[in-house]
A and B are shown apart, each in its own frame.
Chain A
Amino acid sequence: SQQGEEDPQALSIQEGENATMNCSYKTSINNLQWYRQNSGRGLVHLILIRSNEREKHSGRLRVTLDTSKKSSSLLITASRAADTASYFCATDFPTGANNLFFGTGTRLTVIP
């Protein structure tokens, strides 16, 4: 499977702390995206990073990409209770660019 793998599967932190989630994948990619899903609802796009980029920021989000290690991380700074959700990475590949392959997700709980 070309599916990515997120780590950890679940993460629980206090409000105000930073949350870091990791994604690993197996083969070379074109792009990597991060999505957020509130319980039982549709996914919402957060950020896209291309294979020639190493870091990207969007508000309180920081994404890094290390293509040599085939991994990415999503950092949420100064977390809020409203950040409680599942977070997924999704990759697309030089072949099969019609598909996105999603990981199994990290369930983040931010305790007020």
Chain B
Amino acid sequence: EAQVTQNPRYLITVTGKKLTVTCSQNMNHEYMSWYRQDPGLGLRQIYYSMNVEVTDKGDVPEGYKVSRKEKRNFPLILESPSPNQTSLYFCASSPISGGPSGHEQFFGPGTRLTVL
């Protein structure tokens, strides 16, 4: 089944404890992206990647890192999480390296992160 998977789905952690949220897609998509969703603010893009070893900042990149060593994986790293990073996180992918312009994005199921 074609899908985007994220792990973990739920995570409660404490301030300052490094964590990684994994994202994997099995559709051979070139473009991948991370969003966070907060009440009243909609989805905001954190980082995106147009292909392997090519990443760039979105609207709200502060406090996050990403890597794209393989086409299928795009992990999101929080080196020192803070309470303001408590949010619902989504990974997404699109089939074209030019990005989601004119193409649908496929979303993962989400990771609900709470930072105490």
Contact = CB atoms under 8 A, between A and B. Distances in A.
Interface stretch (A12-20, A40-48, A74-82): A40-48
Contact of B102 (A30, A101, A102, A105): A30
Nearest to A92: B101
Interface string B34-64: 0100001111110010100000101100000
A48 B99 contact: no
B83 interface: no
B74 interface: no
Contacts of A40: 88, 110, 112
Given A40-B110, A99-B48, A104-B42, 6 more contacts: A30-B101, A42-B90, A43-B92, A43-B105, A92-B101, A98-B31
26 contacts: A30-B102, A33-B104, A40-B112, A41-B109, A42-B4, A42-B90, A42-B107, A42-B108, A42-B109, A42-B110, A43-B105, A44-B107, A45-B105, A48-B103, A88-B43, A92-B101, A92-B102, A98-B50, A98-B101, A99-B45, A99-B48, A99-B58, A101-B45, A102-B44, A104-B40, A104-B42
